[in-house]
Structure 1
């Protein structure tokens, strides 16, 4: 392994660690690390980041399946629509110059980190998560422990799949910052089930995006494999440390790091 691959593996392990400690939305920092750490363009970094985030998400999703907390029908429905949308996002990414892609990613990163910071601050001040809406289109059937599938529920989950798939192909993000808020807003699932279901969607959508990138020749495997291997190793270590380190304070630190990364993305695009 040469120095470039070793650096990629180290950056990947950082992504896996962030994923384990901050939740499914932590993988959004994969692309900035690839852009600044390895000097890739947005179109080069997106599929590499997706491979790493997708593999790490598979680990979390399989653990959730073992615990019985993944709502696999909802995950399959959302990811099925997302996989259909990823080729469109990938095509758009190759049509747009690097500068607007960087600006777009920076805006998405700012939104995701602002939401994480506000949620963590609310938890620190009030000791409880933000209250949910009075009407939830997707609710669990207590008799069978599964979601009741209604037209409003299917419509809400379908919209989630569209956004997750499009952003996955366009910007190389797993979509946890879209899926987790959507499942929180539209369902009455507890947070453990929401995170596990989100990881299952990320794993499936990322797999579809990686396959599409491979077919189109956009995947740089020499960079992707060490980076992805590092992400999985970092996730495994992070899952062990999460019981001691994870919490709202750490999520605030992650959000602040995301603000800095977004500012650097904008600066590099302008420079």
Structure 2
């Protein structure tokens, strides 16, 4: 096994642990890794990361469903409503310069990271009553999340978790669990939307990365039960800011 494939195996395991524990983070980690460490072109990395995130979310969903935190109906509805945005974002992404794509990626992660840190440091009680969540808000949140998923090719967990927590009133455990279902739907649509596009993916590296990430996902899910919800939110926010800073520095100076 070459050094790059071994590196993909090791890092993939770590990415899976993050996805399993937080219900997000796979794409925001795999895209920079595929681009800056494994040398993939950004558009190819975006496509490959959808495979990695979708498969990892699939195996990570199994233990989460047994714990009872997955809100299946809300997840399917949110995922279905996000498909139009995912398709549009996937098509638009292909027209954008790779450098600009990574700069926008960094900016978005920084904004979401700050919002999640505020949520973690100043937690508030949120009502979970379905009647208080309007259909329009659900439609707008799902479409916006789908667009970001398709545009950046990151599976959507980085956007789904904050949307479910901040806009729709989910607890962090419900959001991190239900987001896995949404990520499976969004990743599938994102991949289908890229059919016919001139993107060449290194499938061997992607599949090795995905296999290791799936193994990590199964190991990461039990970790979420041992950590407080506010701590999970804080970790997620810090993770987003760290990746945003890394991607920004690499894009501007290297």
Query: TM-score, normalization: structure 1?
Result: 0.79
8 Å Cα contact 1:160-1:178 kept in structure 2: no
CA RMSD of aligned residues (A): 2.8
8 Å Cα contact 1:8-1:226 kept in structure 2: yes
For the pair 1:262 / 2:244, whether they are aligned, the reply is yes
Write the distance in 1 (CA, Å) between the matches of 2:228 and 2:113.
Answer: 16
8 Å Cα contact 1:153-1:186 kept in structure 2: no
8 Å Cα contact 1:30-1:49 kept in structure 2: yes
* 1:26 corresponding residue in structure 2: 25
Name the count of aligned residue pairs. 251
Q: 2:191 aligns with which of 190, 210, 213?
A: 210
8 Å Cα contact 1:10-1:230 kept in structure 2: yes
SS at match of 2:70: coil
Structure 1 residue ranges without an equivalent (≥5): 123-128, 141-147
Write the distance in 2 (CA, Å) between the matches of 1:92 and 1:103.
Answer: 16
* 2:118 corresponding residue in structure 1: 118
8 Å Cα contact 1:71-1:193 kept in structure 2: yes
Write the distance in 2 (CA, Å) between the matches of 1:18 and 1:120.
Answer: 18
SS at match of 2:179: helix
* 1:17 corresponding residue in structure 2: 17
8 Å Cα contact 1:29-1:258 kept in structure 2: no
Write the distance in 2 (CA, Å) between the matches of 1:65 and 1:254.
Answer: 21
* 2:56 corresponding residue in structure 1: 56
Query: TM-score, normalization: structure 2?
Result: 0.84
Q: 1:232 aligns with which of 179, 204, 214?
A: 214
- Show CA shifts across 1:16-71 (max 9, x none): 112233x1232222212222221223212112222222222222333344444433
Structure 2 residue ranges without an equivalent (≥5): none
